[in-house]
Amino acid sequence: MTHDDCLFCKILAGDIPADIVFESETAIAFRDINPQAPTHVVIIPRQHIATINDIGVEDQPVVGSLFSAAREIAKKEGLSEEGYRVVMNCNAAAGQTVFHLHLHLLGGRGLGWPPG
Ligand code: AMP
Ligand code: ZN
């Protein structure tokens, strides 16, 4: 898949609308179109990285910034104390459907473990 075909690159470019809740130099976040919890935000790097398997050593600051974003968004959503979950699916067996790295932030309800 090329960047031109990438749904999240299109959101980054403003070609597809999204409910953006966070922006930084390295990452943006928007509400998931099919939310699985009262708060379900997708956090993505501005840089196109397809999967966890494609993360290079040089990408570590960018990937780390996704977690900083999660912390800030959770605080804004009032989830810091009660708790929340971040999930990153890698490839088909884990349920990855969009091949642009993303962290799901889920909260606002009790979350079972182990996940399905
Ligand atoms: P994953 O299955 O881990 O690849 O996650 C992809 C997520 O992107 C899913 O939770 C989808 O509901 C979400 N998604 C797909 N299209 C959009 C969109 N246009 N705006 C917001 N979220 C989307
Ligand atoms: Zn992309």
Report yes or no on 116 lying in a domain. Answer: no
Question: Domain limits at 14?
Answer: 3-104
Q: Is 42 in the pocket of ligand 1 (CB under 6 A)?
A: yes
Q: Model confidence over 8-17: pLDDT tens digits? A: 999 999 999 9
- Would you give the end-to-end CA distance of the chain in angstroms? 27
- Which ligand 1 atom is the nearest neighbour of the CA of 34? 12
Q: Is residue 77 a part of any domain in this protein?
A: yes
CB of 76 closer than 8 Å to CB of 23: no
- Assess if residue 7 is contained within a domain: yes
112 located within any domain: no
pLDDT one-digit tens code per residue, 26-55 = 999 999 999 999 999 999 999 999 999 999
Q: Is the pTM of this model over 0.85?
A: yes
CA of 55 to the centre of ligand 2 (A): 13
Q: Indicate the number of domains in the chain.
A: 1
CB 49 within 8 A of CB 59: yes
Residues, the chain, total?
116
What is the sign, positive or negative, of the torsion defined by CA atoms of 54, 86, 100, 24?
Answer: negative
For residues 18 and 90, is the Cβ–Cβ distance under 8 A? Answer: no
**88 and 70 Cβ atoms separated by less than 8 Å:** no
Q: Is residue 114 part of a domain?
A: no
CATH of the domain at 60: 3.30.428.10
